């Protein structure tokens, strides 16, 4: 039987890399990137301009849509980019598998609202679709924690709770969804443990053999909403297996130096 052809948007990103690596055992994978194509497994295209998208989607059986402008100031960019991808599909009928965020339907924060809008575009596209909502990746939490720990005193939002998940667990679930039948909204996926930002910072400081004072400050109304106090936790979903502590252990070196996952 011919191998399934899958386009992965965002295949060079934190999730996309893990997904692509696993998916190649099952399917012929094409990675969309703004960078020039390196080999036959990649294709150049830009969701912001639409350039290269028609060629990128041509002949694929499924699209894993993992690209994001990650622009918290202009979250509508992700909505427009999703629309451009759908427009490029034209007469083809690939299965679209979209990765969204837990809380998109209940946290009234611009970026999550935009994720919900993008989810709806996928649902109403007329294409077969599957959407998985995941909680924050450990990598993202590490980025926040590292930023907060740059200051001599880490200022931490009081009452903020997270349930970060390992991107490997998300990638594995995505592979199952891509190789399976279109399933609409599937069970959400989160990490095994609910932790406050203070907990996450303590774990990071221990792993990197550092010390920092912390001060927890109450967050005002709108920001409180943004942190989603509770809104970004799983209500009824599946839990991955890797805690933030285990994730740090797997990334850390013997001298306690941990590299920034988003590379900036």
Ligand X SMILES: NC(=O)c1ccc[n+]([C@@H]2O[C@H](COP(=O)([O-])OP(=O)(O)OC[C@H]3O[C@@H](n4cnc5c(N)ncnc54)[C@H](OP(=O)(O)O)[C@@H]3O)[C@@H](O)[C@H]2O)c1
Do 121 and 79 form a contact (C-beta atoms < 8 A)? Answer: yes
Residue showing the smallest CB distance to ligand X in the complex = 13
| Residue 52 sits in the site that holds ligand X (CB under 6 A) | no
Closest listed residue to residue 149, CA positions, set 233, 221, 207, 230: 207
Site string for ligand X, 101-120 (x = CB under 6 A): x-------------------
For ligand X, give the closer residue by CB, 108 or 256. Answer: 108
| Residue 172 sits in the site that holds ligand X (CB under 6 A) | no
| Residue 66 sits in the site that holds ligand X (CB under 6 A) | yes
| Residue 43 sits in the site that holds ligand X (CB under 6 A) | no
Say if strands 195-196 and 161-162 run parallel, antiparallel, or are unpaired. antiparallel
For ligand X, give the closer residue by CB, 171 or 207. Answer: 171
Residue 222 CB contacts under 8 Å (≥ 6 apart), including other chains: none
From the list 63-71, 178-186, 201-209, 249-257, the region that binds ligand X by CB under 6 A is: 63-71
Q: Where are the alpha helices (DSSP H) in the chain?
A: 14-23, 53-57, 76-89, 110-123, 138-148, 167-179, 197-207, 221-227, 244-251
For ligand X, give the closer residue by CB, 175 or 256. Answer: 175
| Residue 237 sits in the site that holds ligand X (CB under 6 A) | no
For ligand X, give the closer residue by CB, 2 or 239. Answer: 239
What crossing angle do the helices spanning 76-89 and 110-123 adopt, rounded to 10°? 10
CB of 250 to ligand X, least distance (A): 17
Closest listed residue to residue 243, CA positions, set 166, 186, 188: 166
Instruction: Name the site residues for ligand X (rule: CB under 6 A).
Output: 9-10, 12-16, 32-35, 46-48, 66-70, 99, 101, 134, 136-137, 140
């Amino acid at each position: 039987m011919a191998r399934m052809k899958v386009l992965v948007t965002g295949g060079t990103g934190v999730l996309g890399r893990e997904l692509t690596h696993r998916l190649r055992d099952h399917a012929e994978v094409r990675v969309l990137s703004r960078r020039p194509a390196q080999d036959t497994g990649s294709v150049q295209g830009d969701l912001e301009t639409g350039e290269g998208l028609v060629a990128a989607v041509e002949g694929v059986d499924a699209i894993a849509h993992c690209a994001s402008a990650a622009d918290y100031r202009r979250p509508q960019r992700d909505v427009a980019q999703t629309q451009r991808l759908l427009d490029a599909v034209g007469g083809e009928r690939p299965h679209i598998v979209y990765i969204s965020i837990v809380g998109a339907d209940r946290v009234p924060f611009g970026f999550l609202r935009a994720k919900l809008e993008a989810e709806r575009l996928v649902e109403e596209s007329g294409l077969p679709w599957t959407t998985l909502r995941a909680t924050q990746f450990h990598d993202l939490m590490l980025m926040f924690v590292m930023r907060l720990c740059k200051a001599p005193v880490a200022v931490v939002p009081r009452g903020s709770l997270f349930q970060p998940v390992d991107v490997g667990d998300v990638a594995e679930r995505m592979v199952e969804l891509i190789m399976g039948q279109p399933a609409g909204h599937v069970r959400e996926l989160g990490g095994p443990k609910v932790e406050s930002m203070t907990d996450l910072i303590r774990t990071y400081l221990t792993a990197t053999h550092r010390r920092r004072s912390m001060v927890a400050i109450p967050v005002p109304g709108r920001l409180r909403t943004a942190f989603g106090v509770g809104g970004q936790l799983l209500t009824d979903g599946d839990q991955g297996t890797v805690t933030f502590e285990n994730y740090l252990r797997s990334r850390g070196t013997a001298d306690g130096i941990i590299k920034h996952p988003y590379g900036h």
